[in-house]
Structure 1
Amino acid sequence: MTTTPPAPARLPAAERGSTTVTDRAVSRIAARAWAEELPRGDAALPSATVVRTGRTASVTLGVTLPYAADLAGTAERLRQHVARTTAALTGLTVPPPEVRVRALAGSGPATGGRLGRTRTGAGTHACATDAPRTADASAGPPEPAPAPARRPWSPRLGTALLVLGVGTAACAYLLAEGVARRTGHVLPGAPRPDVLHRVATTSLADPTTLVAGIAAVVLGLWLLGAAVLPGRRDRLPMTVRTTGTRATLDRSAIALLLRDEALAVPGVTSARVRVGRRRATVRALAGYGELDAVQHQLTASTGSALETLGVTRPPRPRVRLRAAPHRSEEAGA
C-alpha cells in the first residue's frame, strides 16, 4: 500500500518574497507618463531623477514644453498625471513631481501674430493654448486669485562649501593646538607661532589685528546677508494662478524679447537692451523714417511687451532713440 505525501502548505502571497522597484525603473516610468500626455510631435522623454525615502519616491523632471502654451496649466496637469500613473504602476507613494522647464519647443506656426500672441490693447493679450477657450466666461469656474510671487531662494552651494571647509580646517587646527598644549606634545611642522597664545595676548591697537578684525566683520556681514536674503536677482517672479506653482523669468530672456520687439519696429536698424530689477533700458538706432514717429512706436511696443510678460512688477521702460551715423552724414552733406 502506497501513501501520497501531503502537499506542502502554500504560503500567502505576501510571505513568498518581495518585489523591489529600482530608482531607474521609477524614473523611466515617470518620464514615460509625462511624454504620453503631450502631443505626439512634442513627446520627447524628459530627464528624471528619483530620491527614495522609505516607500515614498520624490521625482524631479527636466522637461521641454511646447510653445506657445499655458505653461503653468500644462505643467500642473502633467504633474498630477505623472504622480497617479507612477504610483499605480510601482506601488510607491509618489507626490507630484518637481518640474524644471529647460526649454520651449515650437510645435508649428504660431497664430496670432509675432511670437504667438495677439495684442488687443495696452494691458490685454491673447495666447495660443492647447485647448480652445470659450467666449462665455460665466460657463466655467471663476479664476483663482493669483498666488503670492516671491523670488526663488538661491542654494549658494559654493558659499556653503567654502565656509564649511574653512571653518572645519580652522576648528581642527585650533583643537589640535589646544590638545598639544595640554598634553605637552609638539605638533609636526614646528617651529611655528603659538596661535592660541597670540590670540589671547594680542592688543586691538595692533594694525594687523585691526585689519583682520575689520575683514572678519565684513565677511560675517556678507555671510549673514547670504543666509537671510533670497538672492537670484537675475530672476523676476511671475504672477501665476495655479496653487503650489511658482514661476520666474530671467532678465536676459526679457532683454532678448525687448530686443526682438525693438527690431520689429519699422525704422529701427539696431537695438541694445539692458534689463534691471526696476527698469528696462532700450537703446536703438533709427536708419530711416521720422524720429518722432519711430520713437513713439518703439515706446508703445516696449511698454506693451513688458505688460504681457506676466511679471509681478514689470520693469519701467526707458527708450532712447537716435539717428544712425549714416543719417547724420547725409544731413551734414
Structure 2
Amino acid sequence: MNRAEPGPAEPEPAHGPPDAATGADPAEPRGRSGARRAGRFWSVRRAPAALLALVVLGAAGLLLYDLVSVRAGRPGMSWRKVLTGDLATRSLDDVWTVAGAGVAVALGLWLLALALTPGLRSVLTMRPGPHGLRAGLGRDAVERVLHDRAVGVAGVASARVRAGRGKAAVRAVAHFREVPEVRADVEAAMAAGVRELGLARPPAVSVHVVRPPRKG
C-alpha cells in the first residue's frame, strides 16, 4: 500500500500589526476598517414634512370637492369665484400681491434650507467604527465630560463648559494655586478629554481661568 506524501503546507496570509491609530488590520480595505470620513447625521424633519403634507392634502381635497360639485351641476364655492376674480383684476404692484409673493418665497426658501441642510446641530459625529458603525454625542454629554475633567484638576473650584460644533469654551475658577499653573493643567485635561471622546472633528478648546470675586 502506497502512503500519500503530505503536500507542502499552504502559507499563512500575511497580516501586519493593527494600525495604532484605528486599531484595524492594514491588509483590510480602508472602506471596511472605518477609516473613511464620517459625515453628519441628517434630521428626519417630521414636523415640517407633516405640516406641508397636511396643507397640500387639505388644499387638494378642497379643490377636488369643488371640482366634483361643479361636475355634478352644483354651483362652485363662492371663495373660489372671489379668488379668481380678485386675481384677474388685481395688479402686480398691489400691496397684497407683493406681500403674498414674499410669503411664498420665504416659505420656499425655508423648505429648501430644510431639504439641503442636515440639521441635528446638537449631535457631534464620532469617528466611524468597524463595519461602518456610526455614533454621535450630544453637546450636553460633551459638556458634562469636559466639565468633570475640568473640576478634577487640582485648584479648580468650579467650571463652566459650552461646547459647539467647532469650539468648546471652558471657564474655570481657581481658588488656590497660581492661575498659569491651573490653566496649563486644565488645558492638558481638556486635550485628553477631547481625545477620549473620539469625535470625528474634535473641537478647538479655549480655556479661561479666573480668581473668585473678592467679598466686600
Q: TM-score, normalised by structure 1?
A: 0.52
Any unmatched runs of 5+ in structure 1? Answer: 1-135
Runs of 4+ with >3 A deviation: 174-184, 190-193
The amino acid that maps onto 2:162 is: R
The amino acid that maps onto 1:267 is: G
Contact 2:154–2:182 under 8 Å retained in 1: yes
Q: 1:299 aligns with which of 187, 195, 214?
A: 187
Contact 2:124–2:199 under 8 Å retained in 1: yes
Identical amino acids, percent of aligned pairs: 36
State the SS of the aligned residue for 1:271.
Answer: strand
Shift of residue 275, structure 1, vs aligned partner? 0.7
The amino acid that maps onto 1:213 is: A
Distance in 2 (alpha carbons) for counterparts of 1:275 and 1:181: 60
Q: Does 1:212 align with 2:95?
A: no
State the SS of the aligned residue for 1:240.
Answer: coil
Q: 1:266 aligns with which of 154, 168, 174?
A: 154
Distance in 2 (alpha carbons) for counterparts of 1:307 and 1:177: 63
Any unmatched runs of 5+ in structure 2? Answer: 1-15, 27-32
The one-character-per-residue Cα deviations of 1:241-266 (angstroms, maximum 9, x if unpaired) are 31231111111110110111111111
Shift of residue 179, structure 1, vs aligned partner? 5.5
State the SS of the aligned residue for 2:161.
Answer: strand
Shift of residue 208, structure 1, vs aligned partner? 1.9
Counterpart in the other structure of 1:203: 91
The amino acid that maps onto 1:293 is: E
Q: Name the structure where strand makes up a greater proportion of residues.
A: 1
The one-character-per-residue Cα deviations of 1:137-167 (angstroms, maximum 9, x if unpaired) are 46x9715351331112211111111001112
Shift of residue 186, structure 1, vs aligned partner? 4.3
Contact 1:145–1:241 under 8 Å retained in 2: yes
State the SS of the aligned residue for 1:272.
Answer: strand
The one-character-per-residue Cα deviations of 1:260-303 (angstroms, maximum 9, x if unpaired) are 11111111111111111110011121122211111111111112
Question: Where do 1:179-198 residues align within 5 Å?
Answer: 183=73, 185-187=75-77, 194-198=82-86
Distance in 2 (alpha carbons) for counterparts of 1:261 and 1:158: 37
Counterpart in the other structure of 2:122: 234
Greater length-normalized contact order (CA 8 Å, ≥ 6 residues apart)? 2
Distance in 2 (alpha carbons) for counterparts of 1:179 and 1:161: 26
Q: Does 1:251 align with 2:139?
A: yes
Counterpart in the other structure of 1:117: none
Distance in 2 (alpha carbons) for counterparts of 1:281 and 1:244: 31
Contact 1:262–1:298 under 8 Å retained in 2: yes
The amino acid that maps onto 2:42 is: W
Question: Where do 1:1-333 residues align within 5 Å?
Answer: 137=17, 142=25, 144-177=33-66, 183=73, 185-187=75-77, 194-325=82-213, 328-329=214-215
Cα gap change, 1:205 to 1:174, in 2 (>3 Å)? farther
* Equivalent residue pairs, number: 190
State the SS of the aligned residue for 2:85.
Answer: helix
Q: CA RMSD in A?
A: 2.6
The amino acid that maps onto 1:173 is: L
Q: TM-score, normalised by structure 2?
A: 0.77
Cα gap change, 1:152 to 1:141, in 2 (>3 Å)? closer
Contact 1:147–1:241 under 8 Å retained in 2: no
The one-character-per-residue Cα deviations of 1:44-83 (angstroms, maximum 9, x if unpaired) are xxxxxxxxxxxxxxxxxxxxxxxxxxxxxxxxxxxxxxxx
Shift of residue 315, structure 1, vs aligned partner? 0.7
